[in-house]
Structure 1
Amino acid sequence: MSFVENKESFLFTKVDKSTESLPISFEDWERLARERVPAGPFDYTAGGSVEEQTLAANRAAFSRWAIVPRMLRDVTNRSMAITLFNQQLKTPVLLAPVGMQAISHPEGELATARAAAQAGVPLVVSTVSSHSMEQIAEVMGDAPRWYQLYWSTDREVSASMVRRAEAAGYSAIVLTVDTIMLGWKRRDFKNGYSPLREGKGMANYISDPVFCSRLSEVTPENAVEEILRTIYTPALTWSDIDYLREHTSLPILVKGILHPDDAKLAVEHGVDGIIVSNHGGRQVDGAIATLDALPTIAEVVQGRIPVLLDSGVRTGPDVVKAIALGANAVLIGRPFVYGLAVAGEKGVASVVDTLLHELDVTLALSGCASLADVNRSILTRQ
């Protein structure tokens, strides 16, 4: 049974008074978030690097592809289910790792986690979350979740983090490889704002025994300085994947791949999955849009490992386009953070609910009963 049918033709049911005032479009969520969140935190989430060309390119890439619907196909019974790493998921949508969510809403990741668990959408928890990975896992119960790792120059801290994630029920490790140093974000310089320097993302660190053993005294000030000293890793190489593999039995994905040769190397080094990502336009300005990078990477990988995509995904049609071009699943970031900023858990739930309805309707009207029916044949380049 389809998502919409489960809602009993939601367009014609009685409106839920608790949510009728919430936005529908990404633009309206963003507008309300801008009104409610101070300039520093809002721009930290919304902004990209330098001139923000990559930020704009991610959206423009989706507009260059058009869906060509197929007709007279029975789409009565539809499914958005997928399997990733032997885990059945209800949809091909995940919530991307966004750090320090408490800058947008006091409950931060805890509100996001509850909404994700209720929707059955996996949450990827950031190393620099505002709440510890164990606290987030506790509110999620048995719901699917992955852990995103920022590699530390202190390898033993990284090993400790992934061991904790495995013990707390996370089912995959996402190693972000495009942040060996911080992108040049003009908005943050203008606002004089750094949530990491303010200690907003240290929950996983001050709860980690190995990290704390490095401090002469466990204080917020000492923790922040140690994080800043070790979080950026320009010496990170493919050989570090081998070290990571020694310390976890979980699937390992690398996030931040844009070049097909790096996709080849990922397969050669035994990586379990790739996330095609330019960090939402926050790192290299002028970088290729993720949707433009996706087809070549999918061709190189040839189905040997899953390929996921983030950066620029806003709507259900976007999800269909990404899957048609070779993605197994997609991640959204800013949309759910704006929902969080505006209405906490209800906001995240509403953003996810809208996206999944859009995806279901787009599948049906494109003539697809399942994601297996979605391929390049339903797209044309504009």
Structure 2
Amino acid sequence: MKRQLFARMALMLALPLFAAGCIIDDPEPGPNLSGDWTEPEEPAGPETFITVDGDFSDWDAIPADELVTATVPDDAFYSAGRRLKVYAGATYINIYLEYSEAEQPVQIMHLYLDSDMAFDGEGRPTTGMGNAAWTNDGADILFEGMLRDDTGAPTAYDPTIFTWSGEPLSGGWDWTEAVAAGAGICSNCEPVELPNGNMAIEMTIARSAVPGLGQSFRLGVGLQYDWNDIAYLPAGSAVEENGEPKHGAVENLLIGAKSGPAPEVLITADGDFSDWEKVPASEMTVATVPDDAYYKAGKVAKVYAGETYVNFYVEYEDSAEQPVQIMHLYLDSDMAFDGEGRPTTGMGNAAWTNDGADILFEG
């Protein structure tokens, strides 16, 4: 009979997208062992890392086409918000927020994120909260936390994270807690007074810590004092409705689409192999053992190395006379080759022409 074996491992080092122990023959000696590997497409530019220290000069290094900025008009209904800049790298979401405390201190900050990007054919959102501040909101993730404590002293923004649980676009406040306050996924500097008299902070958020966050998403900011709205960013000019002024709705910010690789496919180690079909063919290495191989127990090996996990699928024949009992994973992690493509370090297993394995899993 045949039996499948699948192992999933998180390794504390950056491993190349291959596993030496999965390849039966490689006619082209070199750093990749799949035998049919092609040069990958040019990767996205390197991520710009923002140091959260109140010195905003490192924002100048971000490419203009990867930075999204919203400036609040002078005639906006709420005057506290001034400017919002967002840069989403592959690892972090980076936020620069400029605001005025001339009338009231900024005490509470809400981050509204539309992560599923579900829109109808005319560009209207179909899921999420439906905040009247934005024409295309549909927020399904909410950060809620303090910038100043109850005494008015600055405090680290360490928010509670909620997911939307109400009726789509109802405009209510139906949120379910997903991550408790104090998880430490945000890092922000103390407020800095700018030469124009405004205050500014910068903040980073680990993308991996936000439940359900997609590569592309929309983000808006709401500021409050004593739980009363004093700013929205982005914001439009004030409008009149039934003789009363109110804030004008504008499009929310779309960010994240231009930074980093495609999101990692997470394989669940449950014996259901259908999630392997989600892995792009260009990111998966497959080795099939020929029928006339000297050792016949091995059949198929698949390897997919995401940003977080190295995933293995191994298919083999497990006969009653000779069950598969022990598995070795041989990995060549240093990829040291001479000018002719021959390995120069590691074990040198006779099964492969270009092994040089320096890490071994035995179990």
Higher strand content, 1 or 2: 2
TM over 0.5: no
- TM-score w.r.t. length of structure 2: 0.24
Bigger relative contact order (CA 8 A; separation at least 6): 1
Report the TM-score, using the length of structure 1 for normalisation. Answer: 0.23
More helix by share: 1
